[in-house]
Structures are given as structure tokens and as C-alpha cells.
DNA sequence: TTTTCTATATATAAGAT
DNA sequence: TATCTTATATATAGAAA
């Protein structure tokens, strides 16, 4: 685009390189924004200029938000690999996410192995695994809370139905989370039976902490 | 661009939204790459699609590299603010980076204040400050090492000059780093005088650890 | 560094596969 | 979802401020 065609290689002339940088940076930011808005996706763009100045664009509230999401994504991918490795070396240590009781599983894993020098590597792997799960937990919890908050707000404005769509969704996500961790169930209810029964949404919120 | 003009708002039709996503994602990546190559700058691009799939582009070896650089940049900016705050509250605590001896400065700071509940906030500020400097230190060290490694490689292929350009640069950066931390000088040389004298590059490397 | 002015090079909307 | 085909909408190179 422009008077001349352009070779895909570093522009040697310093002046025109900087002019081009300024122009294209603007164009790229604009395009990034268009993609985010038109397609309703999350976009983050980081540019460090020659002299180390930072230019950034992000579609979300803050770049940190997207970077945290990125970290979680990477963790998840890494976890898949690690899990495959673990299972190869330790068949009895099945996937923590699907096992009946993660805590018991970890305990058993720790008991079964003499804690020797030799096992530090495996322990490190386990540590990473747990750290990744923890991050995901926090992230999903935040998501759930935001959904729930939204549901509460909207619920107040809407005529009461049996169950709002949002509540159903939140309840479903909560259920998934419970399965995910297979939290040992508390006695069904030890609350004072004089209290009024909780709404599905309230119960959901209760279970998040 | 295209048959029709486009409104900058979410495309409601799911099909065309996804088609547009696919096309524009490609276009954006291409532009990002062009900017990086033409202008010789660092670019990172993260896109999370509707269904949470991650698409990324980065001009450096790895995204982590750019993200670490971002973190350092943010730290630096935050540090500027914190320093301003600190100086307002504690005039005697001048900028750690320019002070004659950071270690003495910190020590004096700690001695001068009774360590009371009231000062925890200030200590936290100091901690953050130090953490930021530490990150920068590691980052600059890595940079220096890479430069040095490159210099060694290229030095072997080049005819011996008094001092290669790269060596000069590394030496200069090293000097800056020394000033930065104002490391108390070691006795000029306590090495065995039977050893052959070190090259400037070797000395530079020596000082990095 | 950013912007203005044009001629051109590119990107991409629509439509169809 | 990715690709091909056009007609159009945009981005931007070059020159200059």
C-alpha cells in the first residue's frame, strides 16, 4: 500500500523506519480494536519501540487480565504434558482432575514414595501441577462470581421466574467445579432450620468459599 | 474494505462473525509481523477466540520473553510513583538508583525508623522497590550475557582488532551496571599473577557474577 | 513523533464452494 | 472453518511540514 511496493525486511533508513513505525503502529492498533469489537474476542497487543518505549492495546479492562488468562492457558497445556509424564512413571497417580478424591490421591502419592533425593523431580512436577490447578481454580471462581453478581443485578430487574437463565448457568458451572474437585460433601445442611430456605443462587454463592 | 462498508460494532450473525474473525485474525498477524520486521521492533499479539482458543504472534523467540519485558516496564513505572511517594514521606530516603551506595542507604533507612506497626506500609513499599530493581538487574544481566556470547562468537570469526565494537558496548553496559549499583570495588586484582592477563571481554564476564 | 496529501498496494465483505 | 473470486474500502509509501 502506498506509492511503492515494500520488501519484507528491516527498513535501513532510520528516518523512514521511524515514520513507518508511527504509521503502522497506529494502523495495527486500529485493526486490533476492530477485530476485538467486530468479532467479540479478546485481543492484547504489545509493542516495544526501538528506544524501549511501550505501546499497548487491549480489549479487556486491563492487560493484566488478558495476561493472566494467557498464563492459565499455558499452564493448562503444560499440565497436559506433565500429566502424561506422571502417568507414565507413576501409574497409580491418575489424573488429579478426574480422580475421585484429589486430596487422598496426593496423600497416597506422597506416602507411597520414600522421600529421597531421587524424587525431588517428581515432587516438583506435582507442585507445578497443583499450582496450575490452583490458578485455574481462582480464575474460574472469579468468573463464577462475576456471573453471579450479574445474575443478581439482572434478577432484581426481571420479573421473577422459576429460575433465571443466568442462575441456571451459574448453578451448572458450580456443579462442574464441584465435580472437578469432587469436594467431599458437607452434611446436606447444618444451618439453623429456622432460617428461610436459600435460593439456588445463594446456595451457589455459598459453595464458592 | 470489501463490498460493503463496515460498522464498528459486534457482528450479530454468528456465521459471518466467525468468517470475519478468521480473515481478520490472519490479516492482523500479518501486519504485526510486518511491523516487527520493517521497523525492527518487538511485537506480541494475543487473541482469544469465542471458544477460548488462543492464537498468538510474537516477534521474539518466545512470548514469555516479551511478557517479562512488559512486567519489567510496568515495575519501572510503578517504581517511579512509589519513589515519589517515599521521598515525600521520607526525604532522607533518596532514589536508591542514584544514591552513592544503595546498601548503606537501605541500612540507614531501616535504622532510622523504629520498626513499628505503623511502618509496615513503608516497608512494603521498600520491598516492592527492591523487587523491581532485582527484576531489572536480572533482565539486564541476561541481556549482557547474550551480547557477550554473541561477541565471543563473532570475535572468533573476525580478524583481531584492538577491541571489537561489541566488546566496547558490553564493557560500557557493564560499567553502567556497576555505577547503577555502585558495587564497592574489589582489590584491583587478587588473581595469581602467573595467570595470563584477562581480555576485556573476560573481565566483563567475570564481573557479572 | 505525528500529520497531511495522493497514488497505489492491500485487505477484506459478499457470495459461493 | 478455510478458500476462491471480485469489487470496494482502507492502509500506507513517499515527500514535506
- What region, left, alpha or beta, does residue B182 occupy, with left being phi > 0 and alpha being psi -120 to 50 degrees? left
Cβ burial, residue A95 (10 Å; 0-12/13-18/19+)? middle
Ramachandran region of residue B120, left (φ > 0), alpha (ψ -120 to 50) or beta?
A: alpha
Percent of all residues in chain B with a pLDDT value above 70, rounded to a whole number: 39
Give residue A140's pLDDT. Answer: 55
Asked whether the predicted pLDDT for residue B102 surpasses 80, the reply is: no
Rounded to two decimals, the pTM is 0.55
Q: How many residue contacts between A and B have a Cβ separation below 8 Å?
A: 134
Query: Average pLDDT, stretch B148-167?
Result: 52
pLDDT score, position A117: 37
Q: How far apart are CA B62 and CA B75, in angstroms?
A: 21
B19 touches strand D (CB under 7 A): yes
Query: Which residues of chain B are within 8 Å of residue A66 when distances are taken between CB atoms?
Result: 46, 48
For residues B36 and A10, give the distance between their C-alpha atoms in angstroms, rounded to a whole number: 8
Asked if residues B171 and B200 have their Cβ atoms less than 8 Å apart, the reply is: yes
From the CA of A98, how many Å to the C1' of C15?
A: 46
Taking Cα atoms as reference points, which of B111, B109, B117 lies closest to residue B87?
B109
Interface of B with A (CB under 8 A): 6, 8-11, 17-18, 20-21, 24-25, 27-28, 31-32, 34-35, 37-50, 52, 54, 56, 63, 66-67, 69-70, 73
Give the DSSP letter of residue A119: G
CB contact under 8 A, B35 and A41: no
By 3-state DSSP, what share of chain B in percent is helix, strand and coil, each rounded to 5? 60, 5, 30
**With 60 as the cut, is the pLDDT of residue A24 above it?**
yes
Beta bridge partners of A44: A58, B46
The pLDDT of residue A42 = 93
Higher-confidence residue of B118 and B61: namely B61
Residue of A nearest to B53 (CA): A73
Q: What's the mean pLDDT when you consider all of chain A?
A: 65
Q: In the block, which residue shows the cell 553496559?
A: B173
Between the CA of residue B18 and those of A37, B13, B22, B49, what are the distances in Å? 13, 9, 6, 9
Phi, psi of B54 (to 5 degrees): -100, 130
Q: Give the pLDDT score at A41.
A: 93
Amino acid at each position: 500500500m502506498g506509492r511503492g511496493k515494500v520488501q519484507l525486511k528491516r527498513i535501513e533508513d532510520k528516518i523512514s523506519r521511524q515514520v513507518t513505525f508511527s504509521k503502522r503502529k497506529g494502523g495495527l492498533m486500529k485493526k486490533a480494536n476492530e477485530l476485538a469489537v467486530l468479532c467479540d474476542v479478546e485481543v492484547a497487543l504489545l509493542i516495544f519501540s526501538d528506544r524501549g518505549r511501550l505501546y499497548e492495546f487491549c480489549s479487556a479492562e486491563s492487560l493484566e487480565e488478558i495476561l493472566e488468562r494467557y498464563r492459565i492457558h499455558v499452564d493448562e497445556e503444560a499440565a497436559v504434558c506433565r500429566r502424561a509424564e506422571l502417568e507414565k512413571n507413576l501409574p497409580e497417580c491418575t489424573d488429579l482432575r478426574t480422580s475421585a478424591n484429589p486430596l487422598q490421591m496426593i496423600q497416597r502419592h506422597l506416602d507411597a514414595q520414600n522421600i529421597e533425593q531421587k524424587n525431588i523431580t517428581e515432587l516438583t512436577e506435582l507442585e507445578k501441577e497443583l499450582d496450575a490447578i490452583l490458578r485455574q481454580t481462582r480464575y474460574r471462581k472469579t468468573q463464577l462470581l462475576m456471573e453471579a453478581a450479574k445474575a443478581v443485578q439482572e434478577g432484581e430487574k426481571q420479573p421473577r421466574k422459576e429460575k433465571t437463565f443466568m442462575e441456571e448457568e451459574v448453578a451448572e458451572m458450580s456443579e462442574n467445579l464441584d465435580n472437578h474437585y469432587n469436594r467431599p460433601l458437607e452434611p446436606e445442611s447444618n444451618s439453623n432450620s429456622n432460617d428461610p430456605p436459600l435460593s439456588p443462587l445463594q446456595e451457589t454463592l455459598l459453595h464458592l468459599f
